[in-house]
Amino acid sequence: MSKIQLSPEILDAASADNRQAVNQIIEAYQQPIFSHILRMVNDNHLAEDLTQDTFIKLYKNLHKLNQEKNFNAWIYKIATNTVYDHWRVKQRRPESFFAPEEDETLSPSPAYYLTPQQDKLDLEMALSQLKPLTAAALRLYYQQGFSYQEIAEILNQPLGTIKTNLARGKIALQKILK
């Protein structure tokens, strides 16, 4: 997947609260961010909600946009942190009487299993068995094409940790997929 490149003019206009420029950013990034979040949470409805939350956070923080930094890495970091925030809140909140069974919230939707690409399904199932940080790093590297440095920024981890997670993740995937 190729990275999206927006012109500096669009980013400047968006940071100056130009609604048309903000809409261009949302249109360009909505599907890639949704896909990234969906791979992390395995739930379509939750991924839609968290994608919306990501763009709300993006909008609220556009005034902090630094043209010197990588915008792609910045928006993916917002999306990843939005998922992490959701998980933290979920851990703190006691389960409600009306909450779905744990298996329902963690299992992918039936449509996930009906994809025609069995290899893709096998890979996603294997990734779901890894630690979340390792799986996220592998997805960002192989599916989104981010560099090690960009992944370190997105996941807010030291570069060495990312390199270690990617190396260990590759080995773990090989074992799982054999």
pTM of the model: 0.62
- Outline where DSSP puts E strands in the chain: none
Q: Are 50 and 41 in contact (CB under 8 A)?
A: yes
Name the amino acid, one letter, at 153.
E
Distance CA 56, CA 7 (A): 21
pLDDT at 108: 42
Mean pLDDT across the stretch 117-127? 69
State what percent of residues in the chain have pLDDT above 90.
26
- What pLDDT, in 10s, does the model give residues 35-46? 999 988 888 999
Contacts of 39 (CB under 8 A, 6+ apart): 124, 127, 139, 143
Which tens digits make up the pLDDT trace of 70-120? 888 899 999 999 998 888 877 665 444 334 444 334 334 333 443 445 556
Average pLDDT over residues 158-173: 88
Q: What is the DSSP letter of 162?
A: H
Q: What share of the chain is helix, strand, coil (3-state, %, to 5)?
A: 75, 0, 25
Task: Please report the domains of the chain, with CATH numbers, ordered by start residue.
Answer: 7-108 (1.10.1740.10), 115-178 (1.10.10.10)
Task: Give me 145's structure tokens.
Answer: 């094409």
Q: Mean pLDDT in the chain?
A: 80
Alpha carbon distance, N-terminus to C-terminus of the chain: 26
According to the model, what pLDDT value does residue 107 have?
Answer: 37
